[in-house]
Chain A
């Protein structure tokens, strides 16, 4: 995309602020339904950042897969296990929270000093830009062919595994009996046979 530098910086700032605020909301809000919808906000903001990084195909895939599939799946899981229970507070729970916050802040400080101090070898070549779909397709069918096929096998395994894990183990007894009795009958209303036209003319 050809955007001016100022436009890029302003839109990056807006998207990053949206993303980090929504992520903090995902972690800290009490109601988990709000968390799930804020997670969708995080995914959409990340798709916008991908557009800033000259990757239109991956941005579209992010919106389709994360917002359209993963977030909807999480919402369905919340609806299925939504039990209004108050978690009883742990003894000395604040120690764990404080320790985790300190460790996370330490990791962030370490990473940020590493990021700032490393001399990155920035390439000066023109980015692929709008031709990124072509380049991705070439990679998928030449040097990344085996991982591409393995990914399809993995998705099939995950599909079958999720069905096997989430399936009910047994049916209740009365449902099983009713299914056996009514198995051979078609569930349709009995109706009278319509006389054919020839019989009417004879009569």
Chain B
């Protein structure tokens, strides 16, 4: 097993997440794409932790912090989606143009 395999898979997952982030119309799907990107970053950190720093596994510490931040982000993001849905009665990203010129 080599480090490069893991990094390539993580890069592919990150690119899928970017595509979904830009092209999704549903606001919940945008949050799911953000979770995909965060997981790709976690995979990178874990691969580096195992192959470059196997004794003091600091990559795993960073991964745990990223997981905690991602949980907080998911909770607040879904609460914002609920509030917007209650105000605008839609989850279409194209109609959330309140702050757009």
Please tell me if the beta carbons of B92 and A154 are within 8 angstroms of each other in the complex.
no
Please tell me if the beta carbons of A54 and B50 are within 8 angstroms of each other in the complex.
yes
* Complex Cα spacing A146 to B65, Å: 12
Please tell me if the beta carbons of B53 and A123 are within 8 angstroms of each other in the complex.
yes
Q: Which residues on the A side are within 8 Å of B8 (C-beta)?
A: 112, 115
* Complex Cα spacing A55 to B16, Å: 25
Q: Which residues on the B side are within 8 Å of A139 (C-beta)?
A: 56, 58, 61
Please tell me if the beta carbons of B1 and A9 are within 8 angstroms of each other in the complex.
yes
B contact patch SS: helix
- Tell which of B23, B54, B78, B83 touches A100, judged by Cβ atoms closer than 8 Å: B23
Please tell me if the beta carbons of B68 and A151 are within 8 angstroms of each other in the complex.
yes
Digitize B48-75: 1 where CB-to-A-CB distance is under 8 Å, 0 elsewhere: 0111111111101101110111111111
A contact patch SS: helix
Q: With A9-B1, A123-B53, A151-B68 in contact, is A57–B60 under 8 Å at CB? A: yes
- Tell which of A61, A80, A87 touches B25, judged by Cβ atoms closer than 8 Å: A87
* Complex Cα spacing A168 to B57, Å: 44
- Tell which of B11, B20, B43 touches A46, judged by Cβ atoms closer than 8 Å: B43
Digitize A58-77: 1 where CB-to-B-CB distance is under 8 Å, 0 elsewhere: 10011001100110011011
* Complex Cα spacing A101 to B36, Å: 17
Show 28 residue pairs from A and B whose CB-CB distance is below 8 angstroms, ordered by the A residue.
A8-B1, A19-B13, A20-B9, A26-B29, A36-B32, A49-B43, A54-B54, A55-B49, A61-B67, A62-B42, A73-B78, A83-B91, A103-B18, A104-B18, A107-B14, A111-B14, A112-B8, A120-B3, A120-B51, A121-B52, A135-B57, A136-B57, A136-B60, A136-B61, A158-B76, A161-B79, A162-B79, A166-B83
List the interface of chain A (C-beta within 8 A of B): 5, 8-9, 12, 16, 19-20, 23-24, 26-27, 32, 35-36, 39, 42-43, 46, 49-50, 52-55, 57-58, 61-62, 65-66, 69-70, 73-74, 76-78, 80-81, 83, 85, 87, 90, 96-97, 100-101, 103-105, 107-108, 111-112, 115-116, 120-123, 125-128, 132, 135-136, 139-140, 144, 147, 151, 154-155, 157-159, 161-163, 165-166, 168
Known: A20-B9, A80-B85, A135-B56. 9 other contacts (CB 8 A): A26-B36, A27-B24, A39-B35, A53-B46, A55-B49, A55-B63, A127-B57, A136-B61, A151-B68
